[in-house]
Amino acid sequence: MPKQDPCETGVTKRSFLKLGVGGACAFCLARLPGVSSGLQSAQAQTAQKGLIKTTRSPWSKSLEAQRLQCTLCPKACELAPDERGICRVRENRGGDCYSLVHGNPCLIQMDPIERKPFFHVLPGSRSLSVSTAGCNIECKFCEVWDMALVYPEDVYAYDMPPATIIAQAKENQARSVSYTFGEPIAFYEYMADMGALAKESGLLSLMHSSGYINKAPLEKLCEAIDGVNIDLKGFTDDFYRDVCDGELAPVLDSLQLLKKAGIHIEITNIVIPTLNDDVAVIREMCSWIKTELGAETPIHFARFYPLYKLANLPPTPVSTLDAAREAAFDTGLEYVYIANVTDHEGENTFCPKCGKKVIARMGFMVEEMHIQDGKCAQCGHAIPGIWSSPE
């Protein structure tokens, strides 16, 4: 008999998990030279430091005296010849803007898709995660600062053009490619090229990003991606300015644009003690999400752990996350999750109509799933998401 797709049938997942599909099967090329990939591949190579390949970026406009302005993100960096932008990976070379990380990933690993986190996209499947150096904002709580907030010459990277990445994903039975961990906007051209090839190969193309990008490049990117998880880091201008070196408005604009484009959206909000944990502000954020994006938009409240420039703060109390979750439900959001707290009720997906549990999770592992043809298997209510692979 043909095998059933666990993402399309209401089945118990324990036997499925024993095959390793729900667990982490990873290889990380991030920071050590000559690391074994762990993936099935005939193209073993040794990571190296230094710029490997560059490509011209279309997202700039010329100024006087061979200066240029980058038009990719709201930072709008003006660059003299040989100068780089805030992201550290875009450089003015003779009056033209170049990306310095195209085809140069410093991290590639196979992950459960739940790790992204995507809870409404092919549950229990594996995704090939890709990242390069670089980021266009600087969060004081960055979890991957030694990869995102450095120059590309400072990390070990591989020579892996887009076609090689897609071949790796197919060879290792991934059902999607995810641009994540670092900031995908920094390697925009690389992501767009991988996304186009992923679609041709029947793979989903997913992005986890800060959403700090201008309208025109985001509209173009929508042609190459299927789903996004946007870090809505807070909901005040002061928080974005003081903690993230950015602004709130461009992120909200990106979310609205993605919604209009029909891209699947999930949101992550890392709740940080004393900085963005005011329940009244969280309630305001959730009301905006309901009004502008829809009550069906999944949101993940993630626990903060001390790191980078906020190592002096304590981990987020679980009670604070519970209060945020309750506030989100009170405002009318239907799919509210708790992240970074294993074995919490908020890891599971519940049908907003009948209240039954339709996806049971333990950490990044899916234990049970009761969704058939995108609907609750118990009452028939439509559950938003991507439940099958592209043709």
Encode pLDDT of 27-57 as tens digits. Answer: 333 333 333 344 655 456 788 898 888 999 9
pLDDT for the residue numbered 50: 85
Q: What CATH superfamily is the domain 11-33+102-376? A: Aldolase class I (3.20.20.70)
Rounded to an integer, the average pLDDT of 306-311 is 96
State the DSSP code for 130: E
pLDDT for the residue numbered 20: 34
pLDDT for the residue numbered 25: 33
Q: Are the CB atoms for 102 and 243 separated by under 8 Å?
A: no
**pLDDT band for position 11 (50/70/90)?**
very low
Q: Are the CB atoms for 178 and 113 separated by under 8 Å?
A: yes
Extract the runs of DSSP E, i.e. beta strands, from 20-119.
Answer: 55-56, 60-62, 68-70, 78-79, 90-93, 96-99, 107-112
Give the C-alpha distances (Å, rounded to integers) separating 250 from 51, 236, 370.
31, 12, 37
- The pairing of strands 371-372 and 375-376 is antiparallel
Q: Are the CB atoms for 51 and 102 separated by under 8 Å?
A: no
Q: What percent of the chain has pLDDT over 70?
A: 88
Q: What is the pTM of this model?
A: 0.90
pLDDT for the residue numbered 10: 41
The pLDDT tens digits for 108-163 are 999 999 999 999 999 999 999 999 999 999 999 999 999 999 999 999 999 999 99
| Mutual angle of helices 279-292 and 249-260, in 10-degree steps | 30
For CATH 3.20.20.70, the residue range(s) in the chain are: 11-33+102-376
- Indicate whether 3 pLDDT > 70: no
